[in-house]
């Protein structure tokens, strides 16, 4: 039996909730009366209910996000049916705004909006004393970061062995991009650096080798950025055979020389940057309150690609208010020419509370009323075209971002990447009628047919590139278009590395 159970439904088992660990770390004297129990979306609701009830909690805290709100709503409904005595407290970005419109908020006993680190502890202490809080919907108090207990000791040994661990050197964001909830922050607040680096050192000593920073603006304060980069460079130098892999979100147009010098020292397979371009259209940038120097951003991407070993994952968003397919295509082609390792082709979503909603009437933005609230059409992109773009995004991830087809991709894209890949996407959907569960070998055969019949590529050139890519990824079966039984590769056992497999494929390609 536990008095306080902290839970959420993660997108994958490999994800470990940082939010739950903050809550438990800051329970004070109540920490020993609490547990964390994480589940994964797709699990049967009744089984989750059974596992929760087996712990006999008096209070259940649930983290609610855009990816789990529908399943969490079913979970709360079932719990309130079979165990109404459990006090259910919700928190997280999905229930921090528009609470009156959400069934899950009506079902639960209490909802904490915004920051929950200290407000959750205050609420459960009151509930355990048998006192009634003043309201069901409780605005979270924003704590001073120096007063928070850092959550990293809450990662278990199993987490260290098997899961991706998240860390943050700061919270908040000074920028006002209207599609993002961080636009509501007034600024970014840093954690005390020495204390944070001490926590990283402890995690590293425990065996953690993948560190994903959730900071929105890692390179905002250059001195802090340099100190963190130097921390990891020291670890790499101390043990080059077992280096960490570090992921940061980077502001694209802010890369001073001091940062470049440090970044250039990282060896292959140790550093990844997620870089939000989102749009190269200046009018759209102004419309959504995004400040970005496109020339500096492009120059920095070019420098990173040519002078560093960092893996570059760059974001673009389709469906922003006023952005046409033609404008998006120009930005996409410009980004392809800068040669990042991955382009994350995202579709605009209306996050609850995000200011992007103010453009709904002026630009006829029509969003899916259900999660993930993706844009369905705008005044310049109709529904059918938006569907085509959504399929493009899925196939792009499968073909380009996977890193499995480095020789074939240039043949497919030619000198007009957006136009040619959209043609392939339309052709592939017409042929297969699906965007998921496509086996890699089946995709290879489809590519071969398209390149020769529709793409104007000579059969010998297309076949050679596809065969080499397929063999390079360990494919052992004979492809239908092979003219002879080529030697099958013998799988070579690989040393376990902190570098994620997809990033490693890009490095190898």
Q: What angle do CA 221, 225, 230 make, to 5 degrees?
A: 155
User: Quick check: 245 and 272 in contact, CB under 8 A?
Assistant: yes
Burial class of 477 by CB neighbour count within 10 A (0 to 12, 13 to 18, 19+) = exposed
| Residue 92 to residue 68: CA distance in whole angstroms | 11
CATH number at residue 239: 3.80.30.20
For 16, 33, 156, 266, 279, the CA distances from 52, given in Å and listed in that order, are 18, 15, 19, 44, 44
Site of tokens 């971002």: 401
| 119 touches 27 (CB < 8 A) | no
How is 72-88 classified by DSSP, letter by letter?
HHHHHHHHHHH-TTSEE
Do 98 and 31 have their domain in common?
yes
Strands (E), 92-209: 110-113, 137-139, 165-167, 170-172, 188-190
Q: 349, 369, 387: which is the final residue of a domain? A: 349
What's residue 1's pLDDT?
83
Task: Give domain status of residue 356, yes or no.
Answer: no
Q: Does the residue 321 lie in any domain?
A: yes
Query: What is the Cβ-side half-sphere exposure of residue 161, based on CA atoms within 13 angstroms?
Result: 3
Assigned token pair, 413: 């894209």
CATH number of the domain where residue 72 is located: 3.40.50.280
CA angle 210, 216, 218 (to 5 degrees): 65
Q: Are residues 342 and 438 in the same domain?
A: no
Judge if 213 and 294 occupy the same domain.
Answer: yes
User: How high is the pLDDT of residue 484?
Assistant: 67
**Residue 345: inside a domain:** yes
Residues 6+ apart with CB under 8 A from 303: 255, 260
Q: Return d(Cα 295, Cα 276) in angstroms, integer.
A: 14
Q: Are residues 217 and 326 in the same domain?
A: yes
**192: Cα separation from own chain's centroid:** 25
- Please report where in the chains the tokens 């310049």 appear, as a residue: 380
Helices 69-82 + 45-54 axis angle, to 10: 50
How many whole angstroms separate alpha carbon 488 and alpha carbon 476?
5
- For residue 190, what are the β-bridge partners? 170
Is residue 13 within 8 Å of residue 39, measured between CB atoms?
no
Per-residue pLDDT of the chain (509 residues; tens, 9 = 90+): 899 999 999 999 999 999 999 999 999 999 999 999 999 999 999 999 999 999 999 999 999 999 999 999 999 999 999 999 999 999 999 999 999 999 999 999 999 999 999 999 999 999 999 999 999 999 999 999 999 999 999 999 999 999 989 999 999 998 999 999 998 988 899 999 999 999 999 999 999 999 999 998 889 899 999 999 999 999 999 999 999 999 999 999 999 999 999 999 999 999 999 999 999 999 999 999 999 999 999 999 999 999 999 999 999 999 999 999 999 999 999 999 999 999 999 999 999 999 999 999 999 999 999 999 999 999 999 999 999 999 999 999 999 999 999 999 999 999 999 999 999 999 999 999 999 999 999 999 999 999 999 999 999 999 999 999 999 999 989 999 997 655 555 555 566 788 888 888 887 77
Kindly state whether residues 234 and 123 are assigned to the same domain.
no
Classify the C-alpha dihedral 257-262-266-270 as positive or negative.
Answer: negative
Q: Supply the pTM of this predicted model.
A: 0.94
Q: In Å, how far from its chain's centre is CA 490?
A: 34
Residue 396 in domain: no
Q: Supply φ then ψ for residue 140, to 5 degrees.
A: -70, 140
- When divided into structural domains, the chain yields a total of 3
Q: How many other CB atoms are found less than 10 A from the CB of residue 383? A: 12
In 194-337 the beta strands, taken as DSSP E runs, fall at 210-213, 245-250, 271-278, 311-318
pLDDT value for 52: 98
Tokens of 6: 């902290």
CB burial string 53-79: b at 16+ within 10 A, e below: eeeebbbbbbbbbebbbbbbbbbbebb
The answer on 179 and 256 residing in a single domain is yes
| Within-domain flag for 140 | yes
- Residue 483 is predicted with a pLDDT of 78
Residues 10 and 128 in one domain: yes
Residue pair 455/424 in contact (Cβ under 8 Å)? The answer is: yes
Q: What is the pLDDT of residue 325?
A: 98
Q: What pLDDT is attached to residue 273?
A: 97
Q: Are residues 119 and 172 in the same domain?
A: no
- Specify whether 175 is located in the same domain as 294: yes
Structure tokens at 347: 């579709």
Q: What is the pLDDT of residue 494?
A: 62
Domain boundary among 113, 144, 175: 144
Full domain range(s) for residue 122? 4-144
Assess whether 424 and 302 both reside in one domain.
no
How many whole angstroms separate alpha carbon 10 and alpha carbon 42? Answer: 10
Beta strand ranges found along 92-161 (DSSP E): 110-113, 137-139
8 A C-beta contact, residue 59 and residue 4: yes
- Give the residue among 16, 499, 507 at the shortest CA–CA distance from 246: 499
The tokens for 429 are 């959907």
Residues 329 and 473 in one domain: no
Residues 42 and 76 in one domain: yes
Residue 386 inside a domain? The answer is: no
Which residues have C-beta within 8 Å of that of residue 375, sequence separation ≥ 6?
A: 318, 319, 347, 348, 349, 350, 365, 366, 367, 368, 386
Token representation of residue 235: 């670890």
In a domain, 344, yes or no: yes
Length of the chain, in residues: 509
Contacts of 295 (CB under 8 A, 6+ apart): none
pLDDT in the model for residue 491: 56
Last residue of a domain, one of 114, 144, 174: 144
Distance CA 477, CA 322 (A): 48
Would you say residue 93 lies in a domain?
yes
């Amino acid at each position: 039996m536990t008095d306080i159970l902290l839970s959420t439904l993660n997108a994958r088992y490999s994800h470990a909730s940082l939010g739950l660990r903050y809550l438990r770390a800051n329970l004070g004297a109540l920490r020993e009366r609490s547990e964390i129990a994480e589940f994964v979306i797709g699990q049967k609701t009744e089984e989750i209910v059974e596992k929760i009830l087996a712990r006999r909690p008096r209070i259940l805290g649930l983290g609610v996000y855009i990816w789990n709100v529908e399943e969490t709503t079913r979970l709360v409904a079932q719990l309130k049916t079979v165990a109404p005595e459990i006090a259910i407290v919700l928190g997280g970005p999905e229930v921090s705004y528009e609470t009156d419109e959400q069934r899950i908020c009506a079902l639960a006993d209490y909802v904490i909006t915004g920051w929950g680190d200290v407000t959750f502890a205050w609420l459960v202490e009151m509930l355990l004393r048998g006192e009634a809080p003043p309201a069901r919907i409780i605005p979270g108090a924003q704590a001073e970061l120096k007063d928070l207990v850092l959550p990293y000791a809450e990662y278990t040994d199993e987490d260290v062995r098997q899961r991706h661990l998240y860390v943050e050197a700061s919270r908040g964001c000074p920028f006002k991009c209207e599609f993002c909830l961080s636009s509501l922050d007034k600024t970014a607040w840093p954690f005390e650096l020495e204390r944070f680096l001490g926590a990283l050192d402890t995690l590293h000593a425990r065996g953690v080798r993948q560190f994903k920073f959730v900071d929105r603006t890692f390179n905002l304060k250059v001195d802090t950025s340099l100190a963190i980069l130097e921390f990891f460079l020291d670890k790499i130098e101390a043990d080059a055979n077992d280096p960490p892999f570090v992921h940061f979100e980077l502001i694209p147009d802010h890369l001073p020389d001091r940062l470049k010098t440090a970044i250039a020292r990282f060896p292959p397979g140790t550093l990844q940057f997620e870089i939000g371009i989102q749009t190269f259209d200046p009018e759209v940038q102004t419309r959504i309150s995004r400040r970005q120097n496109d020339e500096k951003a492009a120059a920095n991407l070019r420098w990173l690609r040519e002078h560093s070993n960092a893996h570059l994952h760059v974001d673009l968003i389709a469906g922003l208010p006023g952005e046409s397919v033609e404008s998006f295509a120009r930005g996409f082609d410009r980004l392809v020419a800068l040669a990042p390792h991955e382009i994350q082709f995202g579709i605009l979503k209306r996050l609850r509370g995000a200011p992007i909603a103010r453009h709904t009437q002026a630009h006829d933005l029509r969003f899916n009323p259900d999660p993930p609230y993706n844009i369905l059409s705008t005044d310049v992109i109709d529904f059918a075209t938006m569907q085509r773009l959504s399929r493009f995004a899925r196939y792009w991830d499968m073909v380009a971002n996977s890193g499995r087809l480095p020789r074939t991709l240039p043949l497919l894209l030619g000198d007009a990447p957006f136009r040619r890949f959209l043609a392939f996407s339309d052709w592939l959907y017409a042929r297969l009628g699906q965007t998921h569960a496509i086996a890699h070998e089946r995709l290879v055969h489809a590519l071969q047919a398209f390149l020769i019949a529709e793409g104007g590529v000579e059969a010998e050139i297309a076949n050679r590139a596809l065969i080499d890519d397929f063999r390079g990824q360990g494919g052992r079966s004979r492809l239908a278009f092979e003219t002879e039984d080529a030697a099958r590769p013998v799988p070579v056992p690989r040393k376990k590395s902190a570098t994620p497999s997809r990033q490693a494929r890009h490095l190898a390609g």
